[in-house]
Amino acid sequence: MLPAQLLPPNIAPGSSSQRHLVNVLSSHGYFLRHPGVIETHISWVLLSGHDAYKIKKAVDLGFLDFSSLKARNYYCDEELRLNRRLAPDIYLNVLPIGGTPEEPVLGKMPAIEYAVHMRRFSPSGLMDRMSARARITPDHIDKLAAIIAAFHNTLPAAAKDSPFCAVAVIEKAALGNFALLQQTCTVHRDIALLKLLGKASTEEFSACLHLFQQRAAAGCIRECHGDMHLGNIVVLNDVPTPFDGIEFNAALRWIDVISEISFPVMDLLRHGQPQLAWRLLNGYLENTGDYSGCGVLRFYLAYRAMVRAKIAAISSGQRPMANKAQQSKSLHGYLGLAYDILTRRRPVLIITHGLPGCGKSTFAQIALEKLGAIRIRSDVERKRLFGLTALADSDALTGEDIYGEDATRRTYERLHVLARDVIAAGFPVIVDAAFLRRAEREIFRTLAHEMAVPFVIASLRADTAAMAQRLEQRNNRHNDASEAGITVLQKLRVVQEPLLDQERVAAVTFVNNGDVDALRSAVEGWKSLDAYLA
C-alpha cells in the first residue's frame, strides 16, 4: 500500500464525519484496553487489546473507490473473503457501526459505517522486521513455500477470455512504474540507471511475450493475494501467515502465480538474504512443479523491485529531510537489484552423482542457496509423473512400478526437458538424481554442450555405513521424497557404472561422511566447483 501522503492533492483523506467517528471511537472509552489508531492513505485501524477494527476512508483514488457507504461495505466483505483464505485466524468478521458519529454503537444496524474486525498481532512478528533482526529461519521459509504453493494450487484459473489474461495488462503495470519514476527521480545516478533499466525491461518483456500468452492459456492467471511482500506476512505460532491482500482492485490480484511468489523472493534478496530467497523459490517450485515459470521469473522479480522503487521514490519526496537519505538509498538499492536481475545471466548445468544416502539432495540444497540456482529433483518429479505428492507412498499405486525401467526413462526425460527450460531462462540448474549410468550422464553433458553452458558432475561419496544409517533415519522420519532403503543401496552398488576418465574432467568430488555442516564447510570441494563455474 502507498503511504497516506500519496493521496492526490484534490482528494480529502476521508470525510469529516468519518474522522469525527474515528476520534469518538478512539477517545471516548469504546475501546478500553490499550487503545490506539493507525492511519494509512485508505483506512484507519482502531486497536484495542487483542482486537483491531479497520474502517475504510471515503476516498476515490482512481485505482480504488471507497466513496460510498455501499462500496465500503462491499470491500469490507471482499477483504474478509479474500484474506480468510490465508489468514482465517486474523480476519474475524465485518462489523456494522450504527448510531451516529457522535454516539456510535458497534454491531448495530442500520449502519452508518462498516469495519473489518481482525485479531491483533505483534508487529515484531512481521517478516520484514524479523529479517532485519536475522530471525527468519529455514523452517519458516519451507513452511511459507508450502503455504503459498498450496494456496495457488487451490485457486481457479481466470477464463481464457478474461481481460486479466491480456498481455497489455502486464505491460501497462510495468510501464506505469517507469512513468512515475521518471517524474520523481532527481539523483543523476538513478536517472541514468533508470534509462538502462527501461531498455533492459523492454527487451525482457519482448522476450517473454509468447510465454505470457502461453501461461495465460495454461491457467496460470489466478485470484492471488496480490501484495505478498515481507511486510504483509506475519509469523503466528511459528507459522508464516500472509495477510492484507488486495481487495480494492481485481487487476492487482488476478495475476500470474509467478508474479506473486516473486514478491517475497525479491524482498528477501533486497533484505540481504539470498540463501533464504532461493530456498523459498525452490521450495515453491518443488511443491507446484511450475518450472516453466522460470521463463518469466526474471521479468517479475524485476517488476516487483520496481514497484518498491516507485514507493521509495515517492516517499523520498515527502519525508522530512532526515529521512530523505534513507529513502534515496532504498530507491537506488531497488533500482540496482532490478538491473542486476534483468542483466545477470549465469546459466550452468550441474548434475549430481552417487548412491542412495550419499548426500546428493543435501549437497543440492546447499548449492542452490550458494549459487542462486534452480534444483530439479528426480525423486519428486518421478512421483509427479504418477500423480503422487512428494511424500506419498508409491505402494499406494497398484499395478504400476514407478521405479521400473520405463518409469526411470520417463523421469530422466522429464528432468531433461525441465533443465533445458531453466537454462534457456538464464539460471543455473542443479539436476538432483543418481546418474549411475553413463548414458544418463552423457545425455545431460550433450545438453550443456548444445546450450553452450558449463557442465559439472557433483560426485558424492560416503562410507557404506554412513549411507545405510542415513537411509534408515530418513525412512523412519517419513519426511523425504526418496523411498530408497538399504536393499536398494545394495542393489545399486553392484550395477552402478563408475565415472570414466573423460567424465572426471568435469567432476567435482565431495566426500560426505559427516553431517550437513561438514558438507557445507567442505572447502576444497566448493573451491573446485567455483573454479569450474568460473
pLDDT digits (tens, 9 = 90+) for 259-274: 999 999 999 999 999 9
Residue 489: give the domain boundaries: 349-533
pLDDT class for 7, splitting at 50, 70, 90?
A: very low
CB 277 within 8 A of CB 369: no
Total domain count, the chain: 3
- Model pLDDT for residues 475-526, shown as the tens digit of each residue: 999 899 999 999 999 999 999 999 999 999 999 999 999 999 999 999 999 9
- My answer on whether 358 and 323 are in the same domain is no
| 266-292 mean pLDDT | 97
The yes-or-no verdict on residue 12 having pLDDT over 60 is no
Q: Point out which residues pair with 429 in neighbouring strands.
A: 349, 374
The pair phi, psi for residue 230, each rounded to 5°, is: -65, -25
Task: Compute the distance between CA of residue 31 and CA of residue 83 in angstroms, rounded to an integer.
Answer: 24
Of 291, 318, 343, the position where a domain reaches its end is 343
The yes-or-no verdict on residue 387 having pLDDT over 70 is yes
Rounded alpha-carbon distances, angstroms, from residue 217 to 161, 214, 290, 443, 456: 9, 5, 14, 31, 36
CATH number of residue 412's parent domain: 3.40.50.300
From 258, 257, 335, 348, select the one nearest 295 (Cα to Cα): 258
Q: Point out which residues pair with 509 in neighbouring strands.
A: 459
- My answer on whether 250 and 388 are in the same domain is no
Task: Compute the distance between CA of residue 379 and CA of residue 411 in angstroms, rounded to an integer.
Answer: 9
Task: Compute the distance between CA of residue 228 and CA of residue 137 in angstroms, rounded to an integer.
Answer: 18
pLDDT class for 5, splitting at 50, 70, 90?
A: very low
- My answer on whether 278 and 319 are in the same domain is yes
- Only one residue has cell 523452517, namely 139
The pair phi, psi for residue 72, each rounded to 5°, is: -65, -40
pLDDT class for 188, splitting at 50, 70, 90?
A: confident
Q: What is the DSSP string of 111-156?
A: -SEEEEEEE---GGGBHHHHHHTT---HHHHHHHHHHHHHHHHHSP
CB 481 within 8 A of CB 390: yes
Joined grid coordinates for residue 391: 511424500
| 31-59 mean pLDDT | 85
| Amino acid 1: pLDDT | 37
- My answer on whether 222 and 192 are in the same domain is yes
From 144, 137, 502, 532, select the one nearest 367 (Cα to Cα): 532
Which contiguous run of DSSP H or E holds residue 369?
A: helix 360-371
Q: Point out which residues pair with 457 in neighbouring strands.
A: 351, 507
Which contiguous run of DSSP H or E holds residue 194?
A: helix 188-217
- pTM exceeding the 0.75 threshold for the entire prediction: yes
pLDDT, averaged across the chain? 92
| Amino acid 499: pLDDT | 97
The share of the chain scoring above pLDDT 70, in percent, equals 93
Radius of gyration of the chain (CA): 26
Task: Give the angle 84-87-90 at the CA atoms, nearest 5°.
Answer: 95
| Amino acid 10: pLDDT | 34
Q: What is the DSSP string of 337-368?
A: HHHHHHH-----EEEEE--TTSSHHHHHHHHH
Of 88, 120, 152, the position where a domain reaches its end is 120
| 451-475 mean pLDDT | 96
- My answer on whether 137 and 62 are in the same domain is no
Between 533 and 321, where is the model more confident? 533
| Amino acid 37: pLDDT | 87
Task: Compute the distance between CA of residue 10 and CA of residue 61 in angstroms, rounded to an integer.
Answer: 10
| Amino acid 6: pLDDT | 38
- My answer on whether 132 and 69 are in the same domain is no
- Model pLDDT for residues 345-379, shown as the tens digit of each residue: 999 999 999 999 999 999 999 999 999 999 999 99
- My answer on whether 165 and 270 are in the same domain is yes
- My answer on whether 249 and 331 are in the same domain is yes
| Amino acid 457: pLDDT | 98
| Close Cβ partners of 180 (under 8 Å, ≥ 6 residues apart) | 310, 313, 314
| 169-174 mean pLDDT | 90
| Amino acid 9: pLDDT | 34
The yes-or-no verdict on residue 214 having pLDDT over 80 is yes
CATH number of residue 273's parent domain: 3.90.1200.10
Task: Give the angle 60-65-70 at the CA atoms, nearest 5°.
Answer: 125
Task: Compute the distance between CA of residue 484 and CA of residue 481 in angstroms, rounded to an integer.
Answer: 9
Name which of 4-18, 185-199, 219-233 the model is least confident about: 4-18
Between 131 and 12, where is the model more confident? 131
- Model pLDDT for residues 420-442, shown as the tens digit of each residue: 999 999 999 999 999 999 999 99
- My answer on whether 93 and 72 are in the same domain is yes
| 266-284 mean pLDDT | 97
| Amino acid 420: pLDDT | 98
Name which of 126-135, 162-171, 223-232, 316-325 the model is least confident about: 316-325
| 316-329 mean pLDDT | 60
- My answer on whether 382 and 326 are in the same domain is no
| 458-462 mean pLDDT | 97
The yes-or-no verdict on residue 174 having pLDDT over 60 is yes
The yes-or-no verdict on residue 35 having pLDDT over 70 is no
Q: What is the DSSP string of 449-472?
A: HHTT--EEEEEEE--HHHHHHHHH
Of 120, 141, 163, the position where a domain reaches its end is 120
- My answer on whether 441 and 472 are in the same domain is yes
- The runs of H, that is alpha helices, within 231-316 are 257-270, 274-288, 294-316
The neighbour count for residue 161, using CB atoms within 10 Å, is 7
- My answer on whether 112 and 131 are in the same domain is no
pLDDT class for 29, splitting at 50, 70, 90?
A: low
| Amino acid 323: pLDDT | 59
